[in-house]
Amino acid sequence: MTDLFQGPKGTRDFLPPAMAVRRYIEDAWRRVSIRFGFQEVDGPTFEPLDLYKVKSGDEIVSQLFSFTDRGGRDLALRPEFTPTLARIVAQFGAGLPKPIKWFAIPRCYRAEQPQKGRLREFIQWNVDFIGEETLTADKECLSVCAAFLFEMGLTTADFVIAWNHRDLMAELLVALGIRPEKLNDTFYVLDRLQKLNPVERQKLLQARDFSVSEQELLELFAVETAVPAGGRTALQDRLQTPTARTAYEKMMQLHDQLVPPELADNFRWDVGLVRGLAYYTGFVFEVADARGENRAIAGGGRYDKLIELFGGKPTPAVGFGMGDVVLEILLRERGLLPEHLGGGPDVFIVNASDDADLTAQWASRLRRSTFDPTVRKITQGGLRVQHSYRATKNIGKLLQEAASAQARFALILAPDELSRSVVKWRDLHARSETELPIAQAETLIRSACLEKGG
């Protein structure tokens, strides 16, 4: 096969096994979000390019897949969902009940170099709590994120949650000697320093025009992460002014107010964590692999001024995003993905009779669902039914095919039983078999599938 007919670099083809994993993750995202009272939304796959430039500046363009449409409009495939969310709230906010609790599971696109845990196309779970300025919203977002990780089988030994506060960090940085006009650059640099080697760090600091003393301070912040609750650190030794000490004490007090009880063992203040995006205004956090073997699992924080930036009213907001790529890697490494995702059919029809039409007849009956218009919902769901397309009446071979399809049960239509108005019903897991009267077979089959969960 030539390169012309291969999938684009940094994208994935979702064959059935891969699609089953994707749906398994998405279903859990959706399930946990709804449990916490969040409602699902979505928006366009592409937006005006200016939507992202307003938030992140012109330098964001190099990280996007952007294009000009036939009308001369500059557009970009969405690299994340938060700008779209902010635009929607700014556009429709007046008519929306507050607080707004929304989640989304969009496809996103970034023109980056593919590497472990990072692709150019990915699925992302976004959870946002809008219109609530107290720590209640921040804590609930943390709890939703943690609840999902626990639901997937991860424990507090598998991940850590690092947090910081942009406003308090700004106070601390200025008090420790960073020029106020360099704060935006400082947040950008701090977000990158931990990911660079010493030579790359020095080049970045020099390129951003930091003084020698400022460079020393930022190097300290990059190294001294996970500040303990007690014990003296090199950072504390720099707290020579009342303003610096006050900002530091506020950070320590905020820790106790923020941490949900279930995360007490792995929730930590990280002085090097600031989240590079410019729209964050307060509390920020990242979820990391406790072994340090993967990229961040999730991240987010406060963005209280973003909706206003897009023309809406001043609106407090907090949220986070979690990509499927790193998450799937982590679940595989921990052995937490079920073996047979997607599952096989509820019933595999084995027709060894001379009447080929019986297969279609039984399949149609068992697949049929019942819709009750008085309550406007399905009252009886159809079963997942599969059958062979092979021209054989060999029951042994057909049962092998049923087992390969991971079917739970097999409905066997054989001449001897049909002549007595019965069918064979085989439990492929228990390796047991019984006979069902044809007149009652559909009801009994549905009950068996419902009891066993399909």
Same domain, 356 and 282: no
Domain that holds residue 384: 347-452
For 42-97, write each residue's pLDDT tens digit.
999 999 999 988 766 666 788 899 999 999 999 999 999 999 999 999 999 888 99
Same domain, 48 and 176: yes
3-state secondary structure of 118: strand
For 115-171, write each residue's pLDDT tens digit.
888 999 999 999 999 999 999 999 999 999 999 999 999 999 999 998 888 888 888
CATH of the domain at 355: 3.40.50.800
Q: For the chain, how many helices (H) and strands (E)?
A: 15, 19
Instruction: Using the predicted structure, report yes or no on whether residue 346 has a pLDDT greater than 60.
Output: yes
pLDDT score of 454: 46
59 occurs within a structural domain: yes
140 occurs within a structural domain: yes
- End-of-domain residue from the set 283, 310, 333: 333
Same domain, 320 and 354: no
Same domain, 65 and 190: yes
Same domain, 318 and 432: no
pLDDT score of 443: 94
- End-of-domain residue from the set 333, 368, 397: 333
Same domain, 230 and 195: yes
341 occurs within a structural domain: no
> Which residue is associated with the tokens 């064979």?
424
Same domain, 270 and 379: no
Same domain, 317 and 366: no
100 occurs within a structural domain: yes
Predicted TM-score (pTM) of the model is 0.86
pLDDT score of 223: 67
| Amino acid sitting at position 28 | A
Same domain, 64 and 151: yes
| Amino acid sitting at position 326 | V
Instruction: Using the predicted structure, report yes or no on whether residue 213 has a pLDDT greater than 80.
Output: yes
d(CA 232, CA 106): 44
d(CA 449, CA 214): 67
* Number of domains comprising the chain: 2
Same domain, 292 and 376: no
5 occurs within a structural domain: no
Measured from the Cβ of residue 60, the count of other Cβ atoms closer than 10 Å reads 18
- End-of-domain residue from the set 333, 357, 389: 333
Same domain, 368 and 270: no
Same domain, 206 and 293: yes
CATH of the domain at 292: 3.30.930.10
User: Percent helix, strand, coil in the chain (nearest 5)?
Assistant: 40, 20, 35
Residues 6+ apart with CB under 8 A from 70: none
340 occurs within a structural domain: no
